[in-house]
Amino acid sequence: MAESRTRVLVVEDELKVADALREGLEGEGYEALVERSGESAFFRLTTEHFDLILLDLGLPGRDGLQILRTLREHGIRTPVLVLTARDALQDRVTGLDAGADDYLVKPFAFVELLARIRALLRRGRSAESPRLTLGDLEIDRIARKVMRGGRPVDLTVREFELLEFLMRYEGQVVTREALARDVWKETSRTTPLDNVIDVHIARLRRKIDLDQSVKLIHTIRGVGFMLREGEP
């Protein structure tokens, strides 16, 4: 039986750009479909399965960020790679808060797009697996056990959830807002959790990174945190 192709939804209103993306992706063996408005994309996403969404932020009507928020609110967890002409830090932070998995600033090289797509698809698959690894750090999501360098690390429930979340988004900036929402399940912005989050990150860092030559938990100043091997 032929392996089913990876399905990518391209949400882009500019016809030339959308066609170029679709043709390029088809040429790489992906099944690529185009929607030219946020509304039509949303309708399609609620009725069909896709493995990845390429989302242009500048769309007529409801813009990409609104669509992204709505998707996440509806529990659609498909990885989203945002394509944006705006490269201001604030837009990136807003996009990450809205539930984007990665960013690419226009204009970009097609090979870069392909690399990001492959990385997101790999991450999507590892997010479903019971074991996540990064270097010599291993977590078992079912047994809820953590090992670093072959030695068990004793974490509280919250610390485990925090680490698991960082690992799912390995190599990406995770904002405090995202942690408040997805780890602490705190949706009210009037309840500031920044200090609580920082305290938990500090404890997690002591347990995971203390006395290790390769640090895994990094602070991205003014934005949030990132889990990766070595300095970002």
The footprint of Ca ion (CB under 5 A) covers 13, 56, 58
Q: Choose between 56 and 161: whose C-beta lies nearer to Ca ion.
A: 56
Least distance between Ca ion and beta carbon 151 (Å): 50
The helix/strand/coil state of 28 is coil
> How big is the chain, counted in residues?
232
Residue type, 12: E
CB of 147 vs Ca ion, minimal distance in Å? 46
* In the complex, least distance from residue 86 CB atom to Ca ion, rounded to whole angstroms: 11
Complex with Ca ion: residue 24 or 58, whichever CB lies closer: 58
Other C-beta atoms within 10 Å of 206: how many?
Answer: 11
What letter would DSSP give residue 4? P
103 three-class SS? strand
Tell me the closest approach of the beta carbon of residue 17 to Ca ion, in angstroms.
7
If the CB atoms of residues 56 and 102 are measured against Ca ion, the closer one turns out to be 56
Alpha-carbon span 152 to 10, nearest angstrom: 43
Q: How many CA atoms lie within 13 A of 40 on its CB side?
A: 12
Taking CB positions, which residue lies at the least distance from Ca ion?
Answer: 58
Q: In this complex, which beta carbon is closest to Ca ion, that of residue 58 or of residue 124?
A: 58
Least distance in angstroms from the C-beta of 93 to Ca ion: 21
CB closer to Ca ion, 11 vs 217: 11
- The residue behind tokens 């769309």 is 59
CA atoms within 13 A on the CB side of 102: 24
